[in-house]
Amino acid sequence: MPYRNGILHGMDLGYDNPVVTAKCWCFLFVIRDWILSKKSEPERKEIFQKETRSPSWGELSAKHLAITQMQKAIDAWKARSISTEYLQAIQNPAAVEKGSPEAVVLEFLTFWKKRNYGKMAELLQEKKAKNLQTSVREVRQQFENYMVKDYSIKRIVDAAPAIAQIDVEVSLSSDSISVPRWTFRLIRENEKGETVSANLAGGQWRFVWVLPSKEEPPASE
């Protein structure tokens, strides 16, 4: 390492070379990393303590109760019988069942028609909506070339207690790419991103993906 006193007092010569320069830069990066590490130490300690803390009996009991309630709800759940009359009626948003997946789809379509990509991104599932800035950019990239004029829900499928799939016919402006039919895949989650059955309180329908009906869903879904 460069000897500070030797350099200052003229005893160490020839230190102005690439090797010594590289050592100095390396030492500066080490100091920087150490300072950043010290600054984040309390936060890292707190995260470590949370991750390694053993749950209390009360927490274990509450978790067990929640799992039991979820299992009972899943066993009791039945898919809705969606009539043609209901599909025709919900073209008027006032007739839509509150808290239903189709209500969220119509909300998404309203924002899409207004080209409000921020509000569209907020309706994505919790793990995607957390990083809102990235989600807004991805939503814009996916939908900005489609200018919506009108839309109507054509099919609603309650695929599972917390999964729904809805097909929508979308009328686009003449200068848009022609994709008349879209499929919406939704999941029902709570604020923590945990799956909640449709016949339990405390959940909200969110989008897993929205694709033209002819396309395949993402492999990770």
pLDDT for 142-174, tens place per residue? 998 888 888 989 999 999 999 999 999 988 877
Q: In this predicted structure, what is the pLDDT of residue 16?
A: 81
Q: Is the pLDDT of residue 214 over 70?
A: no
Q: 10: left (phi > 0), else alpha (psi -120 to 50), else beta?
A: left
pLDDT in tens, 81-122: 888 888 888 877 778 888 899 999 999 999 999 999 999 999
Report the alpha-carbon distance of residue 23 to residue 204 in Å, rounded: 56
Query: For 134, phi and psi rounded to 5 degrees?
Result: -65, -40
Q: In this predicted structure, what is the pLDDT of residue 215?
A: 57
Helices vs. strands in the chain: H and E counts, helices first: 8, 4
Report the alpha-carbon distance of residue 81 to residue 220 in Å, rounded: 29
Q: In this predicted structure, what is the pLDDT of residue 110?
A: 92
Give which of 128, 131, 132, 134 is closest to 119, Cα–Cα. Answer: 132
Q: Is the pLDDT of residue 1 over 70?
A: no
**Cα pseudo-dihedral 159, 201, 121, 150, rounded to 10:** 60
Q: In this predicted structure, what is the pLDDT of residue 49?
A: 87
Q: What value, to the nearest 5°, has the Cα angle with vertex 103 and ends 160 and 185?
A: 40
Q: In this predicted structure, what is the pLDDT of residue 63?
A: 85
